[in-house]
Amino acid sequence: MSEVKTPTEEAVTHAAPATQEKSGFREHWPVWMQQLPRLQFSTEPNPNFQLIDRKKLRALLEEKKADPEAIEKIQADLDFLDHELLRLFRERDHQAKYDQNRYRLYQILFMLLAAIATIIGSIQALLMNGQADLVPFFSLIETMIALGTTYLATISGREAPLPSWLNNRRRAESLRREYFRYLVNLPPYDVVEGYERRQLLSTRTANINRGAYPDSNE
């Protein structure tokens, strides 16, 4: 039996893991290459990014002959979510992707430096048997590589990207879940209405954004 999706779920944009990625970015590349880090990364989140295509959602609801009053309520909820939650989601999602890109870039640079150091060391060993006068030159290169590795380790350790990536990703995904929970009126939003319902979302959103998860004992 095929899974039945709600209209809201059908209207969600199914994007790549990088939810604010440029449209069509690396789409023709092999899958494993699509996740390679970039040397240039946007410093600001995409202000137009939406978790739901509102035009498609409205068209779908009208096609299904949904109650006009229900459609307007959903649109009002989307307006409130865009102001109260989605702006924070964009920031957390962007920061998580930025830190993920930085972490992967550092790891690749470490691997390249290690590979180059190994090759240079092998060349030095071979030169010792016949062209020892070239050894100091390659030793200088080896020293420069060591200095580069030390510098990279210093900047990557000063503000470690991995913990920041994981923390921001958790907050972004918790905000994403709260977005749909509010929209489809799941607990705890099913027992309150009007101002109290909006106030509850604002409180839970603020808590998640600062790292306090309402549904967790942490």
10 pLDDT more than 70: no
Chain centre distance of CA 18: 6
For the chain, what percentages of helix, strand and coil (3-state, to nearest 5) are there?
A: 65, 0, 35
80 pLDDT more than 90: yes
Average pLDDT over the chain, rounded to whole?
84
Q: What is the pTM of this model?
A: 0.77
Query: What pLDDT was estimated at residue 216?
Result: 67
12-51: per-residue pLDDT in tens?
Answer: 333 444 466 665 667 778 877 777 888 778 878 888 888 9
Domain ranges of the chain: 64-209
Both tokens of residue 128?
A: 């010792």
Query: What pLDDT was estimated at residue 217?
Result: 57
11 pLDDT more than 80: no
102-160: per-residue pLDDT in tens?
Answer: 999 999 999 999 999 889 888 888 887 778 788 888 888 888 988 888 888 888 777 88
Residue 202 · residue 182 · CB < 8 Å: no
In the three-class reduction of DSSP (H, G, I as helix; E, B as strand; rest coil), residue 155 is classed as helix
Residue 139 · residue 124 · CB < 8 Å: yes
Residue 26 · residue 79 · CB < 8 Å: no
Half-sphere exposure of 62 (CA within 13 A, CB side): 8
Query: What pLDDT was estimated at residue 202?
Result: 95
Query: What pLDDT was estimated at residue 25?
Result: 67
d(CA 25, CA 45): 16
